[in-house]
Chains A and B, each alone.
Chain A
Amino acid sequence: MSPTSKSTDRRRFLKRAGGLAVVALAPSAATRVAWAAAPSGADYRKLLVLIELRGGNDGLNTVVPYASSTYYALRPKLAIARDQVAKLSDSAGLHPALEPLLPIWNQRELAVLQGVGYPSPNLSHFRSIEIWDTASRSEEYLQDGWLTRTFSSAPTPRSFAADGVIIGSPDLGPLAGGGTRAIALANTDQFLRQARLAAAEGQARNKALAHILKVEADIMQAASHLNANYAFRTEFP
């Protein structure tokens, strides 16, 4: 499966799911009204898709410093030959498999950030991901993801199925923490079946119960908007 077909596949899912996405895409009459009601400054007519590739990645062979003699000296066998690199600039180019990205690079729709890190790193992968998800300072430990904080300052319209949907991982990442209406699912069918276990009835007698009831209601609202007949072509673990 090519990367292109995978991404259109997900986009179709998101479209069918209505307002179910980090930000709504399908301009139905109902959501148009909802945008009008959204707080000033927040434009929810765009869809933000974040793709996180888990596991190891050879950064230097993804964005290749092809003008560097040190790179070739240190990688006598692994280096990508200069003439195979999909050039982005005089010094950096993409691995040949990423050549399909060149058109959007040329249209100035693609950016590459290299060497992202934090001061005195403790080399823990988990800590890096935490900083990445919460956009915290290196010595700061935040519970809420950066999107969670964004949505709490600019809430989405209540008519949206959810603030965001996480596909293929139970981990809420940048949507973790209090307040967001985020759902995680690996396939729609399974989510809908599980969602039947949620029930938002009764009244909250304290903060803890109020929180649980809110989460149950979020699950039900998302489930009510979700298209059960949509099956991903990608299999998630």
Chain B
Amino acid sequence: MFPRAFTFCILFAGVSPIASASALGSAPLSYDDARHLLNRTGFGATSSEIERYVGMSREQAARKLLDGARTTALTPPPAWTAEVGPLRYPRPGDNASQMERKLFQQEQVREGLELRGWWLSEMLATPSPLTERMTLFWHNHFVSSQQKVKLALLMYRQNVTLRAHALGNFGDLLHAVARDPAMVIYLDSAQNRKGTPNENFAREVMELFTLGEGRYAEQDIKEAARAFTGWSIDRDSGRFMFRPFIHDDGVKTVLGKSGNFDGDEVLDILLAQPATAEFVVRKLWREFVSPDPDEQEVSRIARRFRDARYDIKVALNDIFTSDAFYAKQSRASLVKSPIDLVVGTLRQFNMAPSEPTPFAVAAAGMGQNLFSPPNVKGWPGQETWINTSSLLARKQFLERLFRGDDPSRMAALPRTERMVPEMPRQALQQGELDPEKARQIRFLRAMERGMQSVQFDSAKWMSQVSSAPDPARRAADAERVLLATAPQAEPDAPGDPLALVRSLVLDAAYQLK
């Protein structure tokens, strides 16, 4: 016996304990494990979805999720996304009137809202929530914002590109994003010309997309910016265009390598750096596992990620099968983003809104406005999602969804407790309000109607979650599907399903995943 045990130790010397445990195979997934996996990789898994994963090995479960990845959206996009031809964009030299500019702006706002509604619908409808989560992850990695890009059409096209590569190859994704028109506008590549370089893209591609802060010198940015000169867009088609006349053909030195590089060659130099794989894996860790990356694990997974030529599924598979992912201290360690909260809740409770836009607007009100991250660094996430203002917005949203099936209860509530304060109806009808205010009120009313369009049948939901006859047992089953950790407060009235759900979703534990 002794020599055998000794050999065993030698075999695993130098391998981290986590890797060795995975290599030895893991126990089949319990209900809680499956719930954890699906809520981290998707949004608000239902009990029947969870049951499908119970009993699988970690490897089987990860494979099933990764094999189900999509490259396109299922939900038909708004009609205007099919547009071809010149971008409708009043340019400085156009002499567009004030009115034309205003109309353009209103049109982009309207299209932007439709776009947000479309993506939210896709998150609700997709058979592969992981695809949408990864698309959102890349949206927050390769940040562009409609605030600057203006054209909803270009934001849509970028979203299509992000989804196409979401679980594909990181190198391909990086190359595609670098020439994505919305990105070209967002990071001023179009202003980057030979002789008068704009370093914005070169800086962010190193700091935020690949290497991470401190892994390059200021001079690397200056040299790389020269390689990207001439990367522009064709205003007539709205597509990427290389303009050779403003491209700098000189020799550049980036991270110790010299040559007459173009932008793609610089991206390849960045991809060859081990720091890039580590930077991305660390970020994936914070997205899926916990706020505190295990550096040993990060470098192990990053090495495999790079060896696999940046196959994103390889990195995700390693993360989804790791001990750290399933570790007790990782459970309930992440704060739900507003999208997690809104989409997760709608999915969790089988609510199908007839109009999705109000829910995208609700998430924006909690601090996550899709297609408009706050700045180039994206949403910082985790604890920054929660402050006194956003927490009350979250709770009010939940309170409103679970107010009750009974319309008389709704009518009995004081007016100010509705999402949108009661509007001066008469003034609106009589045209006494200024048009801007009137438009705002109509918009808020439409949002209110959208919010009212979802119905929650608590008795039906309860019967799907639990078949136990005993109310206390049913309450425990509901808690298990809804919360990643024990509730802070004893749930109210376990006999009344609506009161039970309300107290569980309003519990602090529901803010975590």
Contact = CB atoms under 8 A, between A and B. Distances in A.
A213 B389 contact: no
Nearest to A125: B147
A201 B489 contact: yes
Interface string B112-151: 0000000000000000000000000000000000011000
Interface in A160-174: 166, 170-172
Interface residues of A, number: 43
Given A127-B375, A170-B365, A215-B388, A206 B488 contact: no
Contacts of A170: 365, 389-390, 393
Interface in A129-171: 130, 141, 143, 166, 170-171
B148 A208 contact: no
B334 interface: yes
Contact of A208 (B291, B387, B399, B416): B291
A70 interface: no
Interface in A91-130: 122, 124, 126-127, 130
A126 B147 contact: yes
Contact of A176 (B334, B376, B387): B387
A208 to B, nearest CB: 5
B384 A189 contact: no
Contacts of A41: none
B34 interface: no
A216 B375 CA distance: 28
Contacts of B395: 194, 197-198
Interface stretch (A2-10, A18-26, A31-39, A177-185): A177-185
B392 A197 contact: yes
Interface residues of B, number: 43
A82 interface: no
Nearest to B208: A141
B387 A202 contact: no
B508 A202 contact: yes
Contact of A218 (B388, B396, B489): B388
A190 interface: yes
B345 interface: no
Given A126-B375, A143-B380, A211 B396 contact: no
19 contacts: A122-B200, A124-B148, A130-B374, A130-B375, A141-B375, A183-B388, A184-B388, A189-B416, A193-B417, A194-B395, A198-B391, A199-B488, A199-B507, A201-B489, A208-B334, A209-B485, A212-B335, A212-B508, A215-B391
Interface of B: 147-148, 188, 200, 291, 329, 332-335, 365, 374-377, 380, 382-384, 386-393, 395-396, 399, 416-417, 440, 485, 487-489, 506-509, 511-512
